[in-house]
Each structure stands twice: as C-alpha cells, then as structure tokens.
Amino acid sequence: MAGASLLTLLDDIASILDDVAVMSKVAAKKTAGVLGDDLALNAQQVTGVSAERELPVVWAVAKGSFRNKLILVPAAMLISAFIPWAVTPLLMFGGLFLCYEGFEKLHHSYSHRKGQQQHETQVENELPDIKDLAAYEAEKVKGAIRTDFVLSAEIIAITLGIVADKSLSTQFFTLSVIGIIMTIGVYGLVAAIVKMDDAGLYLSQRQGDSALTQMNRKLGLGLLSAAPLLMKSLTIIGTAAMFMVGGGILTHGLHWVAEQIHHAEQAVAAVDIVGPVLALLTPTVLNGLFGVLAGAVALAVMTGIQKLRSK
C-alpha cells in the first residue's frame, strides 16, 4: 500500500511538472513582447551610473525584481480566486502609471534641455560628491524596480490567463517558473548590455600579431563604437516602450477603443501591396499614441493636484 501510494504521488508530481512545462512554454511565447519592452526599459533605467557600479546596480534591481515576483505571484492567485474582476482595473492602473512616467520623462527632458546645455561645461568639470552619487544611484534603482513591478504584473497577468483553467498547483508553479526565467533572462541581458563597452575595451587592448588577436581587436573596437549608440537607442526605445506597453494595456481594457484600433488595422490591411505590412504596425503605433495622450492627461492631473496641495 505504501509503495502504491508513493507511485501515485510520483505520478501526480510528474503530471503537474508536465503541465507546468507545457504551460510555461506557451506563456513564454505570449509574454515575449513584454519581455522585450522590459529589457529595453530596464537597460535604459540603469544607464548613467559609473562603470564600476553598473553590475551592482543591475544586481540590486534584479533582487528588487525577484521581490516583486514574490509579491505578485501570491497576489495574482488570490485575486484570481476571490476577485477576478479586479485584474483588468489593476492592470489598467499600471498601464496608466507607465504612460505617466514616460510622459514625465519627455516633459522633464524638454523643460530642462536649455538649462542643461548652458551648464554642460560646468557639469563636466565638476565631480559630484559621494552623497550625490549614492542618491543618484538609489533613485535609478528605485525607478527601475518600480517600472519592473508594472511590467512584471503584466507578465504574471498574461500567464495567469493562460493557466486559469488549471489546478492551483499548476498555476502556482507555472507563474513561479515564468517569473524566475523572465527575471534571470532580462537582467542577464541587461548586465551584458551595460558591460559591452568594457568587453570592447578589453578586446581592443589584446596584444599579439595572430589573426585571432587582430580579429578580437577589431571586434573590441566595433563594440566600443556600438556601445554609445546602443545606449542612446535604448533610452529612446525604453521611453517609447512605456507608451506602447502602457497604451496597449489601457486600450485592451477600454473595449470601444480596442474595437476602433481593430477597425483601423483592418482598413490598413485592405490597402494594396503594403497594407498587410502596415497592418502589423498599426496597433502598436495607435497604442503608443494613446499612451502619449493618457500620459499627458495623467501628468496634467498630477500637476494640478500638486499645485492645489501646495496652496
């Protein structure tokens, strides 16, 4: 009897693990787009710190991301079990927050551009003290973890929708596997991106006349040239991703808006030759524009509330 019970238990565990593997594979495909946005956003968030502090900052954000998952996975299961209707409003709030942060970045960059240009030389010649550096780094980490929370919530919500009809154990293990894989994948790539210039410098300084050494030096010089362009691109892509992801969450929650975007996609697809190609980009572009509009409204509301509080 004991042996039969053990075999039954092992069979149940194997069945659960098989379901988790299948569901995790499906969820990974569904959340691949969010993973790309998460990568761009977090790589952009941790840029600007000193070279020797890049990996510690990435590690600090990664630990914050794991803490986010420890909160989100149990919360998602509780919400799904007791108040499933709250998933969409919570996601929409997170999407609006992303749009707000994205538009605030644009507004801050525009309003301070002239002053930054005037004092650029002074800033380059002055080294901030340790307290300023520590505060700057802490703010970077805090902002990256905050952004990660919203994107992680979307990943968890998408995964939860895929395994909603499965057992609680399958749901829990699938959410946990996706959370761990996504976190390791994103921050492993972020670490590689931010250290790309250091790798290029190391390769470019290799000594020797062999063909392999010369190829390494060329590769290093290429990485050194590409690193600044990649970081600038990630800044732009990261901000755009805030609007596209946040706007997409909002439009999916607002059915009328989602229908209009779908109609626009169909109309574009009907255009000869280039229509099918443009139709693939139409939802992304319209979601991004809606995200910009939502971010502008959110920033205006928050600015008004702050002014009323100051009075």
Residues 103-121, mean pLDDT to the nearest whole number: 67
Residue 8 has pLDDT above 50, yes or no: no
Tokens of 39: 């990568």
Give the relative orientation of helices 87-111 and 275-310 as an angle to the nearest 10 degrees: 80
Q: Are 40 and 234 in contact (CB under 8 A)?
A: yes
Q: Which helix (H) or strand (E) holds 74?
A: helix 54-82
Residues 55-80, mean pLDDT to the nearest whole number: 86
Structure confidence by residue, pLDDT tens digits, 141-197: 888 888 788 778 877 877 777 777 777 777 888 888 888 888 888 788 778 877 787
How many alpha carbons lie under 13 Å from residue 89 in its C-beta half-sphere?
6
Of 141, 153, 232, residue with least CA distance to 187:
141
Q: Are 211 and 63 in contact (CB under 8 A)?
A: no
Determine the pLDDT at residue 244: 85
Structure confidence by residue, pLDDT tens digits, 186-240: 788 778 877 787 788 888 877 777 777 778 788 888 888 887 777 777 777 777 8
CA 219 to chain centre: 29
The full 3-state SS of 223-247, as one line of letters, equals: HHHHHHHHHHHHHHHHHHHHHHHHH
Give dist(CA 171, CA 168) in Å, integer.
Answer: 5
Predicted confidence band at 44 (pLDDT cuts at 50, 70, 90)?
Answer: low
Three-state secondary structure call for residue 274 = coil
Tokens of 204: 């470019």
Determine the pLDDT at residue 23: 54
Q: Are 59 and 210 in contact (CB under 8 A)?
A: no
> What pTM did the predictor assign?
0.66
Q: How many CB atoms lie within 10 A of CB 237?
A: 19
Residues 247-276, mean pLDDT to the nearest whole number: 81
Determine the pLDDT at residue 298: 92
Determine the pLDDT at residue 296: 93
Amino acid present at 43:
A
Give dist(CA 254, CA 274) in Å, integer.
Answer: 29
Determine the pLDDT at residue 202: 80
What percent of the chain is predicted at pLDDT more than 70? 75
Residue 129 has pLDDT above 70, yes or no: no
